[in-house]
Structure 1
Amino acid sequence: MGFGQGAGFLLQGIRLWRTRTRLMALGIVPAVIAMILLTAAFIGLVLVLDDLIAWATPFANDWADAARSTFRTVVFIGVLAGAVMLSIVTFTGLTLAVGDPFYEKIWKQVEISLGGEIPERGVGWIRGALDGLVLVAMGLATAVIVFVIGLLPVIGAIIGATLGLIVSGRLLAGELVSRPLEARGMDRAARADLMRQHRGAMLGFGVCVQACFLVPFGGILVMPAAVAGATYLARQALESQPS
């Protein structure tokens, strides 16, 4: 499976909005809660960021006005880029943590529609919450990397944002796809091995999900579709395994 096929799994999930509207609407509830919390935190960061940067960079106070303004603007952009990447990954982690019962209904219906062996239950709320926190921690590390790269002159912000999109997209895909695999009793090593065999599809799926999350309110509508799409991807990966 390649990049394009991975993106196609997200499209399959999005199509469920037309055929299973009520089911997909369940996934909006935890997404809205997570979005409200993160939007408030992001607005708060923007309001205090200028003062925070001035406090954190006292060595620039004696620079010429143009140099100081340029430097702090670059830092501002770098912090915002990192914050955006962190908020997207955090959004997924929080949404999965609080919405596991909702999303279990979605992936189970996808499993039923595909037939074959169907897990009786998901990973559970506690395990889902712990996995969500791990995803947030990895998102924080990604945000720090994006911030540091963003400090590079001229191209830093572009490279940082692109790298952040790819890395965080891969993290999102790994977390989403791991749910239906773990429900089948696959341990971390087995899941990682299976996903390595389908790197292109994982990247295509994750980057497309991440890109949708960058659109205002996109995360709210796409999150249920991403859960469904991850189930399609997981089933295809499992069925492609040699018997």
Structure 2
Amino acid sequence: MRDLGAGFTYLLKGQRWVARHGKQYGFGLLPGLITLVLYSAALVSLALWGEDAVTWATPFAGDWSSPWQGLFRGFLTAVLFALALLLAVLTFTAVTLLIGQPFYENLSEKVDADVDPNGTAPESGLPLWRELWISARDSLRILVRALLWGVLLFALGFLPLVGQTVVPVIGFFVTGFFLTEELTAVALQRRGVELRARLTLLRSRKTLVWGFGTPLGLAFLVPFVAVFLMPGAVAGATLLARELLGEETDDGHDDTAGDPEGEDLTQRSWR
């Protein structure tokens, strides 16, 4: 339970950091706004022509009597739109980070330098095109994992009682985990931590990760909120990444203290 609260605290710390650095916050809004416009256009198009698409895809129902034809196609249209919304929530962060790679990379570096006792920030040393390629490749891998979870949870949603109570809760925790992975990747990728090592690191502190990502995922369900929270989410994820790797902050606190597994995980995950 303490880690859940600590994760949420890092989310708040990130928002406070960007509130104190208005210029960084302003630049960090641009990628989210671009992504929002693209996603809004896609969802509006689906709302307008989704029923036509379902009708085209189900010619076998053309001869069904009323009301079964309308109920069947209406159900499929609703399912299609629900899946599109789930996909939008799961991919919004990845697409925004990809579009805003230079912005968020700079923001994350400034957070690192601000809290590091020596005032320095790790650098990947890679050209921008290489960083973009790695980010896109890893985001695609995470998206595949998230989609598999989404399909599984969607199927379990048809179970009586459990599907309407337990499954949605699990879904939010799964979403929170993958959101945190995408956001911490900005800082961890600069440190040379590969995707597999990142996942191992996050799984070792799942309650901390859930405390950060699950409230953020819930907030992202509110229209437009994701755009305004993204800069602070990247800042908070950078602070979270420092704790996961056991790096000291400017108050001299070593986050691996009292965690016998922290040192080993850090060594396995570093470069």
Q: Calculate the TM-score normalised by the size of structure 1.
A: 0.85
The residue that corresponds to 1:134 in the other structure is: 141
Q: Is the Cα–Cα contact under 8 Å of residues 92 and 132 in structure 1 kept in the other structure?
A: no
* Further displaced range: 187-196 or 122-131: 122-131
Distance (whole Å) between structure 2 residues aligned to residue 122 and residue 218 of structure 1: 33
CA distance in structure 2 between the aligned counterparts of 1:185 and 1:217, rounded to whole angstroms: 32
Measure how far apart 1:148 and its partner are.
4.1
Equivalent residue, structure 1, for 2:188:
181
Superposed, 1:228-243 pairs within 5 Å as: 228-239=235-246, 240=256, 241-242=262-263
Matched, 1:196 2:203: yes
Give the number of the structure whose residues are more often helix, by fraction: 1
Whether 2:45 is the aligned partner of 1:44: answer yes
Matching residue of 1:171 = 178
Counterpart mapping for 1:61-76 below 5 A: 61-63=62-64, 65-76=66-77
1:165/1:66 Cα in 2 relative to 1: closer, same or farther (>3 Å)?
A: farther
**CA positional deviation for 1:197:** 1.5
Q: C-alpha deviations, 1:36-88, integer Å up to 9, x for none?
A: 11111111111111122233334444555344444434333322221111112
CA RMSD between the two structures:
2.8
TM-score (normalizing by structure 2): 0.77
- Residue 9 of structure 1: aligned partner: 10
In the alignment, structure 1 segments of 5+ residues that lack a partner are none
Distance 1:33 1:157 in 2: 34
Q: Following the alignment from structure 1 to structure 2, what is the Cα–Cα distance between the partners of residues 143 and 168?
A: 9
**C-alpha distance in 1 between matches for 2:160 and 2:64:** 17
Aligned length: 243
Q: Given residue 4 of structure 2, which amino acid in structure 1 is its aligned partner?
A: F
Q: Distance in 1 between matches of 2:105 and 2:200?
A: 24
Structure 1 49/160 Cα, relative in aligned 2: closer, same or farther at 3 Å?
farther
Q: In structure 2, which of residues 199, 213, 218 is the aligned counterpart of residue 211 of structure 1?
A: 218
Match of 1:119 in 2: 122
Whether the aligned pair in 2 keeps the contact of 1:23 and 1:106 (CA below 8 Å) is: yes
Residues of 2 paired with 1:201 and 1:228: CA distance?
Answer: 16
Instruction: State the match for 2:251 in structure 1.
Output: none
Contact 1:28 1:220 in 2 (8 A): yes
Separation of aligned partners in 2, 1:49 and 1:152: 26
User: Quick one: structure 1 residues 155 and 237, their matched pair in 2 at CA, closer, same or farther if it must change by over 3 Å?
Assistant: closer
Equivalent residues of 1:16, 1:24 under 8 A apart = no
| Greater mean alpha carbon deviation, residues 174-183 or residues 196-205 | 174-183
Structure 2 unaligned blocks of 5 or more: 247-255, 257-261, 265-271
> Which residue in 2 is equivalent to 1:54?
55
Give, in whole Å, the separation in 1 of the partners of 2:166 and 2:64: 27
3-state SS of 1:119 partner: coil
- The 1-side partners of 2:4 and 2:235 are apart by 18
- Do 1:61 and 1:68's aligned partners in 2 also have CA atoms closer than 8 Å? yes
Preserved CA contact (<8 Å) 2:181 2:198: no
* Structure 2 counterpart of 1:35: 36
Task: State the match for 2:249 in structure 1.
Answer: none
